[in-house]
Amino acid sequence: MNQPEEVLTTNQPENNQEDKKKFSANFLRLALLIFVLPPLFFLLAIAIGSFFYLESFSSKTGLGVNQVINQSWQGFKNPYQEKYLTFLLLGLDQRPEDETMLTDTILVVGLNTQTGSYLLFSIPRDLWISPLKTKINALYYYGIKENPSDPTKIVRQEVEKIIDRKINHTIVLKMESIKDLVDLLGEIEINIERGFVDSEFPKDDGSNQVMTIEFNQGKQVFSGERALQFIRSRKSQDQQEGGDDARQKRQKQIITALKEKLVKDRATLINPEKLAKLYNFFQNDLDLFPKVDLARITSFYRIVPKLIDGEQKQIEIPWKEEGAILTAAKDPLYGTWILIPKNNDWQPVKDFFSLNLP
C-alpha cells in the first residue's frame, strides 16, 4: 500500500525541474516579444516609410529613387569643410512694365559653418566701380549682355574684389520669387518696429496708378503678397521708413524670417511633397549660379542644425556717420550721385568686412 506514495515522492523533483524549464522558455519568449520585436517592427516601419518618402520625393522632383539615394550619399560622404560659406544675393525688383535690370539690393551673406552665425553685409547700389565706369547696381545688366549663361559673373568678380573673399554661390532674387517662396513655406512672422503708411505704392496691374498700403507696429503674420508689399515700399512720408535704406532693412527682415522658417519648420522636412516643391523652386524658379544638385545640398547637413542657434549680424558700409570709409561724389560721365572709397582706397572696405565676419 505504501509503494504509490513512494513513487509520487520520488517524481516530485523531476516535475519541478520541468516546470522551471518551461517557465524559463516562456520567459525568454516573452522577453523576445517585449525587447526585440518592437524595435524590429519600428525599423521595418522606418524602412517602409523611407521607401514611400523617397518614392514621393523622387516622383515630384523628376529624380529617380536611385539618383536621390546616390546624390544624397555623395553629399553625406563629402560634407562642406570650409569655415565660411559665402553667398551673394542680388535683389531684382522688376515690375511687368519695367524693362530695367538694375539690382536694387546687393547683399553678401557670410556664414560661419562652425557656429551657424552669419553676417548680412549690404553693399550700396550707388557704389562706383571706376574701372568699369558704372555703378555696381548696373553690373548685372551688363552681365546679361556679355554672358547670358551666367549674367552674375561680372558683379560677382567685383564683389569678390571688394570683400577680398570668394563667393560660393550667387542668387538673383526677383521680388516675385520671394512672394512665391513665402507662399510655398507658409506664412512668416515679422516684428515691425515702426509702423508706416505708403500712399504712393505702385499697382501691379500695368495701369501706372498707385494705392495706399499701411503697416502697423508690432508682430505681423505675412502672406507672400503682404511680404512683397513690405519689401517694395519706398515712398512713405515717414523719413525713417521712406527711401532705399529702409527698404533694404525690410528686405533683410524678410530674408531672416525665411531662414527661420526653412531651418525650424519641421513640417517642411517631414513632408516629401512640400520638400520636393522647395527643391523644384530652387532648381527652376530661382536664378542660382552655379546651380546646386542634391549632392551639394546634402553636403551642408552639418551646417543646417547650427543655424538654429546661430546669431545674425547686419552691417552696411559706413558713409554717413563719423568714421565713414565711403564718401559721396559725382560720377565723371553724367554727374549723378555716387559713392566712392575715401582716397580711392578699398583696403578699409575689405578690412571692415573681414573684421565683422562672425
DSSP 138-183: GHHHHHHHH-TT-TTHHHHHHHHHHHTS--SEEEEEEHHHHHHHHH
CA nearest neighbour of 140 among 129, 292, 130? 129
pLDDT at 49: 54
pLDDT at 319: 86
173: which 3 cell numbers? 532674387
CA distance 271 to 278: 11
User: Which DSSP helix (H) or strand (E) runs through 202?
Assistant: strand 196-202
Average pLDDT score, the chain: 83
Q: How far does Cα 284 stand from its chain's mean position?
A: 16
pLDDT at 8: 46
Q: How far is CA 345 from CA 89, 130, 283, 351, in A?
A: 25, 12, 39, 11
Arithmetic mean of pLDDT, 80-105:
81
Task: Classify residue 128 as exposed, middle or buried by CB count within 10 Å of its CB (0-12, 13-18, 19+).
Answer: buried
- DSSP lists the bridge partners of residue 105 as 91
Q: Which tens digits make up the pLDDT trace of 41-78? A: 555 555 555 666 778 888 888 888 888 888 888 998 99
Q: How confident is the model at residue 222 (pLDDT cuts 50, 70, 90)?
A: very high
Q: Residues 6 or more apart from 187 whose CB is under 8 A from it?
A: 221, 222, 223
- Is pLDDT at 91 greater than 60 in this prediction? yes
175-185 and 224-232 helices cross at what angle (nearest 10)? 150
Which residue has cell 516601419?
Answer: 45
DSSP for residue 293:
-
- Give CA torsion, residues 61, 64, 70, 75, to 10 deg: 0
Write 209-217 long-range contacts (CB < 8 A, 24+).
216/192, 217/192, 217/193
CA distance 109 to 324: 22
Arithmetic mean of pLDDT, 132-158:
93
Cβ–Cβ < 8 Å for 96, 204: yes
> CB 26: neighbour CB atoms within 10 A?
10
pLDDT at 7: 47
pLDDT at 232: 86
Q: Residues 6 or more apart from 249 whose CB is under 8 A from it?
A: 314
Q: Which tens digits make up the pLDDT trace of 181-209? A: 899 888 899 999 999 999 988 887 667 78
CA distance 349 to 341: 8
Q: How confident is the model at residue 23 (pLDDT cuts 50, 70, 90)?
A: low
